[in-house]
Structure 1
Amino acid sequence: MFKRIKYLTSVGFLIAFVLALSVNVASAKNIQDISLEAFFDNTMNSKLEKYHIPNATVSVVKDGKIVYKKGFGFADIENNIPVDADTTLFRIGSTSKLITWTAVMQLVEAGKLDLNTDINSYLDFEIPQQLEKTLKKNTTGPITMTHLMTHTPGFEDYPDMLFRLSEDGLMPLREYVKGHLPARIFPAGEVAAYSNYGTALAGYIVERLSGLPFSEYVEKNIFTPLYMNNSSFRQQPALYPPALIAKPYRFINGSYAQGSFEYILPEPAGSMSSTASDMAYFMIVHLSGGAYSGGRILKEETLNVMHKGHFTHDPALGGMALGFMEGVFNDKGVLFHSGSTMLYNTGLYLLPEVNTGIFISSSGGNHLLHSEVFQEFMDFYYPVKAQIMGTPSEGSQERAKKFTGEYQMNRRSITTDEKINSILGGGIINIDVDEDGYLLVTHGGETNKFVEIEPGVYQNLREGRTQDYFGPFHKIVFKTDPFGRTMLTTDGPMTYSKAPFYSTMGFTASAIVIIVLITISSLAYWIIIKISGLFKRRKNKSSGLPDVALWVGIGASTTILILFAGILSTGGIDPVYQLPTEAYIPVEGKPVLDFIPALMWIFICLLAPFTLIAWWKGFWGRVARVHYSIFTLAVLGLIWIIYYWNLFD
């Protein structure tokens, strides 16, 4: 009897636990503080331990109220100061753009700005309509504010113009937008390519139309009405105790290395610092019709315009609202924006359907921490029971084969030496197809399997979070870009165009390796010939021309090795910032390397005729002539690579 009672009691507790859990999950519309506390304590603490995250902060809002906020880790490890959700500021990177776009919509609401007017009307300089690489015509239509807010103005992107570690590297917004106008590489409104410059331009228009510096306008018209007293776009903002900016760290070799304060060049695109509490107020405004605690910053109808979709490459995809990215997570529509500096990472997610918002920020360099936590939040409170399934239909393998290849980000530069980042900066998606007809998509270091759901449209069979930074990456749709290349489109403000074979990572890396091997072996061979010649005495010496040709080869090969040695010596990745130092400490010229292009042209102008003369006059033996010809072709190939990738611009 006692055993039976004990058994029934245990079963009862188990049933009660399961029912409580199911009620908690099923009643997602009634999120309780205690369940949030347990969920985030468990999730965040495990993530901080797993990824060695030194500090983080979280806030959750629902139905116009802050239902959860908390800091994790230490804002200052050395002084043992913990993170506080109310007073610890984090650099939120590109999540700052949401405030910039909100300021833009205030001017739209005031009648000072039209979303579909040529932005040249609001500027004191002109953005030309000339395309850098002509299509069927040399010019394109004007850029509008809608294009800027949906990341479709068609600008190229300069990654080296984002971060600085010294205030000396900053410049006024007016000077930045005028002095760093990027080339237009796509017709406006046709290709999604994320643009920091576009946001900087919008911030400058806010300055001009309001008559206030951008940071001052935002403080007066957004931060003050919303009581966001610990938020600022000013770099190194003046803070009042106990407010404190969380120090950024990266875990290296068993300990936390502290990074310097990161200055962001285009202020409206990413320089904001804020707390979890302040960002909670901002989320409430966007979920509650534009007002919070008696302060209104936008009308509800204005927010409705801002939150609806304004651009997508295909109805199957989440696209862009005005500033917000669109995505579907666990069958819920989500408006979101992430943001990263070199050391801080942030995500802001709004679920209008259930009137809920989540803000997560941290330092430590894990760019996908916030998306992992958000996905786990969705899986816990809004689980999706249906499993994603599908099998390739007849002929899918043949249809998929035309999409195989390397796809490179359209967020790229084509006119500067930053062009090489399209294959070095992780902006590559590789597409393959297996024998069953599944599309194998390698992106962000992982390979996912996609199945065709209609011609040119593929569904990811993986559930939950993926490695994509700009959306769920659950569907991809193949289109054609304005240059006639196959274009991979997905959720959010990012597209990828299929690279011709000569600009792929594989071809470029292989060509460089081959050129280096040819150079090293040639130099060694010619040096051996010269050394051995010192020990040979010949009464009848041949013409001096073959000897000159060898010396030209030795000079060219030595120059090439100096070139690669110079590149390797300046291209190291800093362990804290995970970027080459040139990305945040500009180098004014490369004295050792600046003379290389001219010298390479001199050598090729000598090597080419010497190669022809060697065959005409019969210098050396046949094998030696073939070798000299191969070396000449290698030098020509290197010159082509240098100029194709703008490496000495």
Structure 2
Amino acid sequence: MAFMNFKLLLTRHTYIALLSIALCLLTCVMNTAPALAASTTSLPAPTSGLDSPHDLETFLDGVMAAQLKDDHIPGATVSVVKDGKILFAKGYGYADIQHNEPVNAATTLFRIGSVSKLLTWTAVMQLAEEGKVNLHADVNTYLKTFQIPATYPQPITLANLLTHTAGFEDSGISNYVPTAHDLQPLGLWLPTHMPARVRAPGVLASYSNYGATLAGYIVEQVSGMPFDQYIEQHIYTPLNMSQSTFRQPVPSPLAAHLSQGYTAVDGTYRADPFENIQYGPAGSMSSTAIDMAHFMIAHLQNGRYGNTRILQTATAEDMHTQHFTQDPRLPGMAYGFYEQSINHVRLIAHGGDTLLFHSLLALLPDAHVGVFVSYNSGGGSIARDTFLQAFMDRYFPAAHVAQTTTLAGFKERAEQISGSYLATRRNYTSFQKLFNPLLSTFNVSTAGAGHLVITGAGQTLNVVEVAPWIFRQVEGPQTVIFHVGSGGTTMLVSNVPFEAFAKAAWYDTPSFHFLLLLVCVLLLLSAVLFWPLGFLRRARSQHEGKRLSGDPRSLLLHVLAGIVSGLDILFVAGLAFLLVSNPLSLAFSVPPMLIALLTLALISSVLTVGVVLSLMLVWGRHFWNSWQRIHYTLVAVAALAFVGELAYWNLLGYRF
């Protein structure tokens, strides 16, 4: 769940919507200048308007009116803080269309998605400050009922969880449940839904909802109280956040003020049910713009809010400091917050997406300014990013410098870096790998002298080279850096410090696998369509009393290969139907239809062995004429290749 994602380039619950197709996870990229030591750039003087609530209100009224109309959003809530005070807070549009209830910044609760993580991370820092946890100790030290497996020599630490460098693969299954009754205690859910460790900790960043949930569970274990209760006592109460909760369902009387979530459908808005989020510490919080303003003030004042503190100054400063970066020229990860650089200004921020709500919290520490915005429909996934950019352009502007010359050697460099890239945040070991082409694949190609175009997740980014291997967005703030070496090529995007993109080998590109699958399906389909016609002709000839030559075993081989072909075609059609008819079912559980399809795939794979072995009989006994033998061989090879595709996409067996 991110903002300014290369998954503007992919919002992380577009991720959830597609993957699960949840995928969160998903389902959601970028922002800076090339020389970008994000924490050392000078701060432009803000315009006088930021000190004028009237000017700010006039500006934001215009921005929000346009967004609600153009992005099909029923309602939104906004707060802006500066120098320890709430400068502006206002609701826009409707929290409940049916009851004509407007959004109120002080009382209307929005689901804030992964912005919730900031409170979880704050709780972890509180415990570290008290000496109850060590950020650099093995997390297994704090886990009493299960352990993270020692896949690598290096253990996972809380610091890894805080910087999204634990090395977990991504997963979107069972992140949501149909009702609050179906929510499992974290101690039961975490060990049964543990993603694989796919890289050593501290090597690359890869955003992880599981990692944040694990941190929330450690808060429970160490503090000795339920996570919800800990947050209420140690963050909500001292910050006077009386309109906030992690609890699901939202308790009374807060429930009466909860915004409805909407989906835009054919020019109207469909009210959707409350989202029960299983990974609570990573995304279940509901809050108001005013309450989030209190939280922003506390962090901008290094833990102080009024006469109370939630963190000591040194702890807060440590939390806001960069602790991991994939390139020193780009923003990196603080503890929980991720850095952004917009108009050469350093921000620490976090975005949040549920299936219905999209939110953003961004702090400008050097300016003592904070911004929070949340929307109650899907259009907010892009609106939040354009909102922040508009705010920064208005109050912290930077001149755009156009690149006019092509650097020497661009053509050779472009040839090296062009191709398909896979995000580190993806699934590796379960059937969810099937969604990587939709959610985690981006293509880089040349677009004229000095220019590249990056496409993926329905978005396009045009960049121009400003230094060897360094590219800046054309008419925009993003910076892209390529690392080329013996270990491969990696693409890094400035406003996605929690993710990297590795260039795929030709045999790992979606285009290769889609082409192979298409050829397989066409050959298998030819067997399903044409062989029955041959059987009908044989039957008619026998009915007319004609004697047919040939070994009767050849008929059995045709039947066997036909069954395999039919099962494979049925699998492809069934999977397509499942994903098109009810893609979000995967966000809640593994549907029975998927289990049935995987069973079909297993049966077909076993029978495929017989088809391949039968080639010796077909050619040894000279069944049929040469063209028929060639066709049978091609079908057998296609069936075998199809099994290979099933294995590649983790669809051979029940790999959930």
Report the TM-score when normalising by structure 2: 0.88
Question: For residue 407 of structure 2, what is the aligned residue in structure 1?
Answer: 393
Question: For residue 103 of structure 1, what is the aligned residue in structure 2?
Answer: 123
Matched, 1:559 2:562: no
How far apart are residue 504 of structure 1 and its match?
1.8
Question: For residue 407 of structure 1, what is the aligned residue in structure 2?
Answer: 421
Pick aligned residue for 2:632 from 628, 639, 642:
628
Give distance in 2, aligned partners of 1:569 and 1:259: 23
Question: For residue 10 of structure 1, what is the aligned residue in structure 2?
Answer: none
Larger Rg: 1
Give distance in 1, aligned partners of 2:521 and 2:342: 48
Question: For residue 307 of structure 1, what is the aligned residue in structure 2?
Answer: 320
Give distance in 2, aligned partners of 1:252 and 1:198: 34
Contact 1:29–1:354 (CA under 8 A) maintained in structure 2: no
How far apart are residue 295 of structure 1 and its match?
2.4
Question: For residue 190 of structure 1, what is the aligned residue in structure 2?
Answer: 203
Question: For residue 21 of structure 1, what is the aligned residue in structure 2?
Answer: none
Contact 1:572–1:581 (CA under 8 A) maintained in structure 2: no
Matched, 1:520 2:525: yes
Question: For residue 40 of structure 2, what is the aligned residue in structure 1?
Answer: none
Provide, for residues 428-464 of structure 1, a one-character-per-residue CA deviation record: whole Å limited to 9, x for no partner: 2111124524232224433333333444333323314
Aligned amino acid, residue 320 of structure 1? M
Question: For residue 493 of structure 2, what is the aligned residue in structure 1?
Answer: 490
Q: Secondary structure at the match of 2:366?
A: helix
Q: Cα 1:150–1:544, aligned 2, differ >3 Å: closer, same or farther?
A: same
Query: Unaligned 5+ residue runs, structure 1?
Result: 1-23, 131-138, 465-472
How far apart are residue 595 of structure 1 and its match?
2.8
Matched, 1:534 2:548: no
Question: For residue 92 of structure 2, what is the aligned residue in structure 1?
Answer: 72
| Higher RCO, Cα 8 Å, sep 6+ | 2
Give distance in 1, aligned partners of 2:304 and 2:45: 30
Matched, 1:372 2:374: no
- Percent of paired sites with the same residue: 36
Contact 2:417–2:482 (CA under 8 A) maintained in structure 1: no
Give distance in 2, aligned partners of 1:375 and 1:559: 51
Give distance in 2, aligned partners of 1:380 and 1:611: 71
Question: For residue 445 of structure 2, what is the aligned residue in structure 1?
Answer: 432
Aligned amino acid, residue 636 of structure 2? T
Question: For residue 469 of structure 1, what is the aligned residue in structure 2?
Answer: none
Matched, 1:118 2:138: yes
How far apart are residue 42 of structure 1 and its match?
0.7
Contact 1:92–1:339 (CA under 8 A) maintained in structure 2: yes
Q: Cα 1:400–1:246, aligned 2, differ >3 Å: closer, same or farther?
A: same
Aligned amino acid, residue 536 of structure 1? S
Q: Cα 1:154–1:241, aligned 2, differ >3 Å: closer, same or farther?
A: closer
Contact 2:451–2:465 (CA under 8 A) maintained in structure 1: yes
Q: Secondary structure at the match of 1:235?
A: coil
Give distance in 1, aligned partners of 2:156 and 2:46: 46
Question: For residue 640 of structure 1, what is the aligned residue in structure 2?
Answer: 644
- Once the two structures are overlaid, the 10-residue window that deviates more, 228-237 or 110-119, is 110-119
Give distance in 2, aligned partners of 1:416 and 1:85: 42
Question: For residue 30 of structure 2, what is the aligned residue in structure 1?
Answer: none
Aligned amino acid, residue 543 of structure 1? D
Q: Secondary structure at the match of 2:596?
A: coil
Question: For residue 601 of structure 2, what is the aligned residue in structure 1?
Answer: 597
How far apart are residue 541 of structure 1 and its match?
3.0
Provide, for residues 575-616 of structure 1, a one-character-per-residue CA deviation record: whole Å limited to 9, x for no partner: xxxx43222354256453243233223321221122222222
Contact 2:174–2:589 (CA under 8 A) maintained in structure 1: no
Contact 2:180–2:249 (CA under 8 A) maintained in structure 1: no
Q: Cα 1:443–1:462, aligned 2, differ >3 Å: closer, same or farther?
A: farther
Q: How does 1:451-530 map to 2 (within 5 A)?
A: 451-464=464-477, 473-478=478-483, 484-491=487-494, 492-530=497-535
Q: Cα 1:599–1:30, aligned 2, differ >3 Å: closer, same or farther?
A: closer
Aligned amino acid, residue 354 of structure 2? T
Give distance in 2, aligned partners of 1:629 and 1:88: 66
Question: For residue 25 of structure 2, what is the aligned residue in structure 1?
Answer: none
Provide the aligned C-alpha RMSD in A. 2.0
- Once the two structures are overlaid, the 10-residue window that deviates more, 151-160 or 607-616, is 607-616
Q: Secondary structure at the match of 2:628?
A: helix
How far apart are residue 309 of structure 1 and its match?
0.5
- How many residues align? The count is 603
Matched, 1:584 2:605: no
Provide, for residues 31-74 of structure 1, a one-character-per-residue CA deviation record: whole Å limited to 9, x for no partner: 21101111111110111000110111001101111111111111
Give distance in 2, aligned partners of 1:493 and 1:598: 37
Query: Unaligned 5+ residue runs, structure 2?
Result: 1-43
Give distance in 2, aligned partners of 1:221 and 1:591: 44
Matched, 1:418 2:416: no
Provide, for residues 540-573 of structure 1, a one-character-per-residue CA deviation record: whole Å limited to 9, x for no partner: 5321121111111221121122212321232125
Q: How does 1:115-514 map to 2 (within 5 A)?
A: 115-124=135-144, 125-130=146-151, 139-240=152-253, 244-366=257-379, 367-424=381-438, 426-464=439-477, 473-478=478-483, 484-491=487-494, 492-514=497-519
Q: Secondary structure at the match of 1:535?
A: helix
Q: Cα 1:545–1:417, aligned 2, differ >3 Å: closer, same or farther?
A: same
- Once the two structures are overlaid, the 10-residue window that deviates more, 155-164 or 298-307, is 155-164
Give distance in 2, aligned partners of 1:146 and 1:591: 38
Give distance in 1, aligned partners of 2:326 and 2:467: 16
Aligned amino acid, residue 285 of structure 1? A
Question: For residue 6 of structure 1, what is the aligned residue in structure 2?
Answer: none
Report the TM-score when normalising by structure 1: 0.89
Pick aligned residue for 1:608 from 612, 628, 632:
612
Contact 2:164–2:205 (CA under 8 A) maintained in structure 1: yes
- Once the two structures are overlaid, the 10-residue window that deviates more, 370-379 or 593-602, is 593-602
Aligned amino acid, residue 357 of structure 1? G
Q: Cα 1:81–1:158, aligned 2, differ >3 Å: closer, same or farther?
A: same
Q: Secondary structure at the match of 2:616?
A: helix
Provide, for residues 230-267 of structure 1, a one-character-per-residue CA deviation record: whole Å limited to 9, x for no partner: 11111112132695110001110121111111111111
Provide, for residues 189-212 of structure 1, a one-character-per-residue CA deviation record: whole Å limited to 9, x for no partner: 001000111111111111111111
Contact 1:397–1:435 (CA under 8 A) maintained in structure 2: no
Contact 1:334–1:349 (CA under 8 A) maintained in structure 2: yes
Question: For residue 6 of structure 2, what is the aligned residue in structure 1?
Answer: none
Aligned amino acid, residue 531 of structure 2? W
Q: Cα 1:445–1:28, aligned 2, differ >3 Å: closer, same or farther?
A: farther
Q: Cα 1:628–1:28, aligned 2, differ >3 Å: closer, same or farther?
A: farther
Contact 1:146–1:322 (CA under 8 A) maintained in structure 2: yes
Give distance in 2, aligned partners of 1:453 and 1:559: 53
Question: For residue 89 of structure 1, what is the aligned residue in structure 2?
Answer: 109
Pick aligned residue for 2:63 from 27, 43, 64:
43
Question: For residue 468 of structure 1, what is the aligned residue in structure 2?
Answer: none
How far apart are residue 362 of structure 1 and its match?
0.7
Give distance in 2, aligned partners of 1:593 and 1:30: 58
Q: Cα 1:530–1:192, aligned 2, differ >3 Å: closer, same or farther?
A: same
Question: For residue 134 of structure 1, what is the aligned residue in structure 2?
Answer: none
Give distance in 1, aligned partners of 2:215 and 2:484: 29
Q: Cα 1:26–1:208, aligned 2, differ >3 Å: closer, same or farther?
A: closer
Give distance in 1, aligned partners of 2:387 and 2:355: 20
How far apart are residue 476 of structure 1 and its match?
2.6
Q: Secondary structure at the match of 1:411?
A: coil
Aligned amino acid, residue 84 of structure 1? N
- Once the two structures are overlaid, the 10-residue window that deviates more, 298-307 or 412-421, is 412-421
How far apart are residue 30 of structure 1 and its match?
4.5
